[in-house]
Amino acid sequence: MGFARSVLALIASVTLLIGCFSGCFGYNKSAKRWAYVGDTVLIVGGGAAIAVDVTSKDEPCMGDNCPYKSPIRGGLVAGVVLATAGLFGILFNATRTNVKTSR
């Protein structure tokens, strides 16, 4: 269980850092390409976080006095947030017009 949490934390941290530094929204053709790369990393990282969370569940309790354990855990929420941010970034870039800069 401890290993899965550390892997989940590592995946989320790397994904957020790449997403922050790559920029999720592009303003011209070149910036949009790199923004799509950053958005794709967010989606892949979110999917990996969801996969780690789903595959690292505890054994179900079969006794009479079992405590309640929510099926929605932090890794699942983090993965959904990362994947949603990536999808939003892709949709935003696809609908945004290019800004003409003078050089």
Closest CA to 5 of 57, 69, 80: 57
Q: What is the pLDDT of residue 103?
A: 62
What is the per-residue pLDDT across 23-51, written as a single tens digit (0 to 9) for each?
A: 556 667 777 888 888 888 889 989 998 99
pTM: 0.69
Q: What band does 18 get if pLDDT is binned at 50, 70 and 90?
A: low
62 secondary structure, DSSP code: -
Q: Would you say the C-alpha torsion 44, 94, 22, 30 has a positive or negative sign?
A: positive
The domain locations on the chain are 7-56+71-95
